[in-house]
Amino acid sequence: MRTITLADHAGFCFGVGQAVDRAAEELERAQLQGTKLYCLGALIHNKAVTGAFGEKGMVTVRNLEEVPPGASVLIRAHGEPPETFQEAARKELTLIDATCPFVSKIHHLAAEAASGQRRVVIVGDPSHPEVIGITGSAGSSALTVNDPKDADAAAALLKDQPVTVVAQTTITHEKFQTCVDRIRAYTEDVIVFDTICQATKQRQTAALELAEKSDLMVVIGDRTSSNSQKLVEICEKVCKTVLFVENSEDLPLHEVEKYCKIGVAAGASAPERIIKEVIATMSEDFTNDLQTEETNEMSAFMDEIEKSLRLPGRGEVITGEVVQVTDDYIVINLGCKKDGILPKTEMVLEDDQKLTALFKEGDEIQAKVIKSDDGDGNILLSKKKLQSGVHWDEITAALDSKEIVNATVVKEVKGGVIATYKEVSGFIPMSQLADHYVESAAEYVGKTLPVKVTRVDQRRNKAVFSHKAFLNEEKYKKIAEIWQTLNVGDVVEGKVMRFTDYGAFVDIGGLDGLLHISEISWGKLKHPQEALEIGQIINVKILSMNEEKGKISLGLKQNAPEPWSVIDDHYAEGNVISGKVVQIKEYGAFVELEPGLDGLVHISEVAHKRVNKISEELTIGQMVQAKVLEIDRERRRISLSIKETLDPNAPQPETYEEEPAEVSEEAIPDAEEAVVTETPVEEPAEEVVAEEAAEAEAPEVEAAVEAPAEEEAGSDTPNLKNLKKAELAAFAEEKGIELPAKATNAEMIQMIEAALE
């Protein structure tokens, strides 16, 4: 007779299981958010598992250089050196640390020993990712030893040195002890931490004991798995035939058929599904071999007797025949030595329904065993528990399919609420009740909420629901729909949500778009709040869209025509307008006619008297009346005159100013041509203003107009704009300013002014 025995402690260890569960949770979160999840290195040493995660969207990378800035990266169970966390911080990555707690403990021991000036010896494979991470925590004091020969080779580094020894979690105890003994031969100051994982020890011990009793050992694991390879080595010491397989397809069934006692062990990275498939494949093969055409009637008769004597166990689902029906219970023949009793209290009945009206003798009925003896010699059955089991299956299916179910909140408990789906009770944590902070869960009691199932443990009768996950999913669906309805050029209604120095964020129906400060008004703004208010409803134009990055750029000023495009509709030469003084220069003042449209009042057009200093006549923010003298559409300049709106015969206040120094006619801007308006600037960071353009290009005026104060008495700096290239070069050399040989006049002036400042 052939037997197949599975060793204890086979399959996922705690650390691997934790990493796989964490990866599944984070991958689901990333899918809901429409982002990617990256894993630094293979999640576990199993191609089937990593392949399944890859199909669901997880991206495995070799290093952080392959990860885009701001992305989420999973640190697998093997752990990483400190340098990885530092690099992630520099790239502003979100790290999800799924390092096995036992591995984290070794990192701590290694770092602590290194800080105490001790040599840290790591017994393990130097190329294994776990060992690489521990080496990083130990720093320059780290030394890796994979066998006693490595210890001999490093004798000079160990000789009479204080040494702390740790182990890779998956190595054999035999190898660790042999290496420790060799290290002790070189130094007496040795502190040993046996950090081989307890689960690894138990797995290796169980595999060894089973191999001693088996004719054939089948070890299940990935070829790249270190702990699986060590299981093979251990089994080969006591069992003549050992097969190392990754899955059921690797099984050489013609070889397996030769053995009667077969043992099965599995590495820490082998999922339960593959272990079951391997055992089932071997079992099916044996079943086929054992089938015969002849039937032993006596054997069949004995089986029937044994069946009648055997009582169904608790939790077993049975089918039997109704032999008696009363108003309070049903008696059921189960085909064994005891009858089953199904009380009315264990049935799901509508109001006023009677058992005698629903069932009769001879009916077939299915129920679940809740007690093998009710105290009166009967088996106690339940229809409720059976239906509950069906509902658990529905909950489990909803978990796998990510289907939405409706759960009713029945009571508030510490940390959340209890909600029921049919006969199944589940817990909704406070943080999962809504997509915002919930002060009290009392308001949700009695409500039926659409939820996602996030965890199921039927063995412990536990389920966890999340209403927040449903709300987030709906929000992302809505956002996706909004993206499909928007187009560049559309004008949509939005609500101003918040300000920054560079603009305002506007909600356009579920999506936030950026209204840059330069796109709010045709005029210049120092802060968005000069033109907008929080909560204000505005119509904005979509300027650009990037769905991949989730960014939308908006414009407000585009809803009104650019001032110069319609200037003839509002202004003409000879018009008298009202405006606000926005800037004062030595040669004139700029008056804002409307946002984005300024005119220049030259110093000679401020008053009928001679004005030496404009700031004595006008102030920033002052409202003035001015006459339009000229509109230069080609150069986009407007020339204004305040004095043309004043009575020339009105008495003028006398001024007592010293006679200005004589200046050349070349230094005086032309009153008729020094007119300007601001041209819209797309980039707000540049401080190029229209008045600087006017100052740079203002031509000569007649000598009757006094020169601006650029060349004040006592200043040793000439008017640079009046100097020729050679004169500029000579002046720069005198001041010790270096200029490029091929610089233009304008570039030379700009560099000299910057150096003098």
**pLDDT tens-digit map of 661-694:** 443 334 334 433 434 434 343 444 333 333 333 3
Residue 491 to residue 509: CA distance in whole angstroms: 13
Residue 340's H or E segment, with its range, is: strand 339-343
Residue 368: both structure tokens together: 């679940």
Q: 118: number of CA atoms within 13 Å, CB side?
A: 20
Residue 651: both structure tokens together: 């008495």
**pLDDT tens-digit map of 3-45:** 888 888 787 777 787 788 888 888 888 887 888 999 999 888 8
CATH number of domain containing 412: 2.40.50.140
Task: Mark whether 27 and 92 lie in a shared domain.
Answer: yes
Last residue of a domain, one of 694, 711, 728: 711
Mean pLDDT of 80-97: 91
Residue 578's H or E segment, with its range, is: strand 576-585
Q: Is 42:18 a contact under the CB 8 Å cutoff?
A: no
Task: Mark whether 571 and 678 lie in a shared domain.
Answer: yes
Residue 130 to residue 658: CA distance in whole angstroms: 86
Task: Mark whether 682 and 750 lie in a shared domain.
Answer: no
- Whether 686 maps to a domain, the answer reads yes
Residue 138's H or E segment, with its range, is: helix 129-138
- Whether 295 maps to a domain, the answer reads no
Instruction: Select which of 26, 130, 346, 605 is catalytic.
Output: 130
Tell me, what DSSP letter sits at residue 615? Answer: G
- Whether 435 maps to a domain, the answer reads yes
Task: Mark whether 704 and 729 lie in a shared domain.
Answer: no
- Whether 615 maps to a domain, the answer reads yes
**pLDDT tens-digit map of 566-608:** 888 888 888 898 999 988 988 899 998 888 888 999 998 988 8
pLDDT classification of 485: cutoffs 50, 70, 90: confident
Q: Which residue bears the tokens 């099916």?
A: 284
Last residue of a domain, one of 332, 362, 386: 386
When mean pLDDT is compared over 96-110, 246-260, 290-304, 374-388, the highest value belongs to 96-110
Residue 108 confidence (pLDDT) above 90: yes
CATH number of domain containing 49: 3.40.50.11270
Residue 468 to residue 433: CA distance in whole angstroms: 6
Residue 343 to residue 378: CA distance in whole angstroms: 12
Look at residue 292 in the predicted model and tell me its pLDDT.
36
Residue 542: both structure tokens together: 């979509």
pLDDT classification of 711: cutoffs 50, 70, 90: very low
Q: Is 334:378 a contact under the CB 8 Å cutoff?
A: no
Residue 421 domain boundaries: 402-473
Strands (E), 526-595: 537-546, 551-555, 576-585, 588-594
CATH number of domain containing 160: 3.40.1010.20
User: Which amino acid belongs to residue 305?
Assistant: I
- Whether 653 maps to a domain, the answer reads no
346 catalytically annotated: no
Task: Mark whether 77 and 211 lie in a shared domain.
Answer: yes
pTM comes to 0.39
Neighbours of 141 (CB within 10 A): 21
Residue 723 to residue 700: CA distance in whole angstroms: 14
- Give every strand in the sheet of 37-40, ordered side by side: 59-61, 37-40, 72-75, 94-97
> Residues in the chain, how many?
757
Residue 133 to residue 84: CA distance in whole angstroms: 9
Residue 425 confidence (pLDDT) above 60: yes
- Whether 655 maps to a domain, the answer reads no
Task: Mark whether 583 and 697 lie in a shared domain.
Answer: yes
Q: Torsions phi, psi of 740, nearest 5?
A: -65, 145
Residue 34 to residue 628: CA distance in whole angstroms: 57
Task: Mark whether 88 and 215 lie in a shared domain.
Answer: yes
Task: Mark whether 512 and 605 lie in a shared domain.
Answer: no
Last residue of a domain, one of 559, 591, 623: 559
Task: Mark whether 639 and 502 lie in a shared domain.
Answer: no
Q: Is 470:404 a contact under the CB 8 Å cutoff?
A: yes
How many distinct structural domains can be found in the chain? 7
Task: Mark whether 35 and 67 lie in a shared domain.
Answer: yes
Mean pLDDT of 485-508: 88
- As a whole number, the mean pLDDT across the chain is 81
Q: Which residue bears the tokens 């050349």?
A: 664
pLDDT classification of 615: cutoffs 50, 70, 90: confident
| Pick from 557, 470, 473, 456: nearest CA to 515 | 557
Residue 596 to residue 567: CA distance in whole angstroms: 11
User: Which amino acid belongs to residue 284?
Assistant: E
Q: Torsions phi, psi of 538, nearest 5?
A: -135, 160
Residue 526: both structure tokens together: 């120092």
Residue 288 to residue 687: CA distance in whole angstroms: 87
Residue 74: both structure tokens together: 């999973």
pLDDT classification of 253: cutoffs 50, 70, 90: confident
SS3 564: helix
The per-residue DSSP string of 115-134 comes to HTT-EEEEES-TTSHHHHHH
- Whether 396 maps to a domain, the answer reads no
User: What residues form DSSP beta bridges with 419?
Assistant: 409, 426
Residue 293 confidence (pLDDT) above 70: no
The CA-based diameter of the chain, rounded to the nearest angstrom, is: 140
- Whether 212 maps to a domain, the answer reads yes
Task: Mark whether 126 and 31 lie in a shared domain.
Answer: no
Of residues 19 and 746, the one with the higher pLDDT is 19
Look at residue 377 in the predicted model and tell me its pLDDT.
65
Neighbours of 700 (CB within 10 A): 14
Tell me, what DSSP letter sits at residue 266? Answer: E
Look at residue 559 in the predicted model and tell me its pLDDT.
84
List, in order, residues 6 or more apart from 321 with CB less than 8 Å away.
Answer: 332, 333, 362, 363, 364, 365
Look at residue 171 in the predicted model and tell me its pLDDT.
87
Task: Mark whether 78 and 167 lie in a shared domain.
Answer: no
**pLDDT tens-digit map of 503-524:** 999 988 777 889 998 888 887 8
Residue 416's H or E segment, with its range, is: strand 416-421
Residue 580: both structure tokens together: 């606000």
Residue 550 to residue 554: CA distance in whole angstroms: 13
**pLDDT tens-digit map of 518-565:** 888 887 888 988 889 999 999 999 898 887 777 889 999 888 888 888
pLDDT classification of 134: cutoffs 50, 70, 90: very high
